[in-house]
Structure 1
Amino acid sequence: MKKAIRTGSLVLCMALFSHFSTAAETVTCEKEVNEINTFLNNNGSPGINNVADFSATLRTLNTTGRLPAKYITSEEAKRLGWSGSDSETLWGLKPTHNKWIGGDAYQHKTLPASVKWYSADVDVSRGYRSPKRLVYTLSGQQRFFTPDNYQHFVEVTPCQ
């Protein structure tokens, strides 16, 4: 079942899909992202624009324990000349061209404090960051998508 976590006064409905799968059946990341989009659209929230890209990011993270090579931390981007401002594109500088921000440590009171969490950008457009993020841990398969700068979280079912 899709889970939504309340972090503000608004709550995304939790009633959506139930996943009944056998041990031999594995959910593809594309199917999982499409189900997340259906859930978000039914609740008036923006979905994931680039399903293929987000699916590839999840698959890489799940199989290698690392984000794809296009991600750099905000600290690394700043060392390469990015100001850190949301109004500045990462792609305006040759060293950060086609890079996305990801791998920064993340904390939120609704997520277990005993687990180290990280965040990664989703749906970057022309180097500008969107409010959409993937929140993940490297100590397991727990993943969350937030469409609105960490106001709401939707659990991402492990996928391949």
Structure 2
Amino acid sequence: DSNEIRDLKAQLKSLSSEYERLNKAQTNLSTTLRTESENLKKVTYDYEVMCGEHDKLKIHLENEKLKNKNSKQNNHSTVYNDYSNLSILRSEKEILTNQLAELVSENEKLKISTSKSPNNYLVENDKLNDQLKQLEDELKEKSKKYDQLISDIRVKNSEFQKKSYELEQILAQI
């Protein structure tokens, strides 16, 4: 009977140790989940900031288009303005590209760390991936507009040079 009591005490001690170990593991997991949740909130906030920047850039681009449309300056000034706008677009594109790269990197880090977390983080991560994909598509669209603007500038520059040459020819004849 005393052997049985000793065995039961040993089992109780073992179970108590196992309970303490599991309790610590649960506490660690809770801390990890809170940290990952904060990281996801930060990425979401960064994404919202980027969306705000994108909207500002879109409005800026539309305003620049309106300025160019309403401009009644000579061809030289138009080409100069187009080059200025192109420079602005290059800067904005570079900023967006860098922000996108940072978000992709952050997203990959979170994807790795949240793969060990419950499925609710996977759903949030999928949302962020969708938003990231949308941002990449918007960047591609900006790149297309950028390429079109370069093409337009080249055409206008060529026309300007042609008109300058024609004017020189007319002046030479006078």
| TM-score, structure 1 normalization | 0.23
Greater Rg, structure 1 or structure 2? Answer: 2
Say which structure is richer in strand. 1
Q: Relative CO higher for 1 or 2, CA cutoff 8 Å, sep ≥ 6?
A: 2
Q: 1 or 2, which has the higher helix percentage?
A: 2
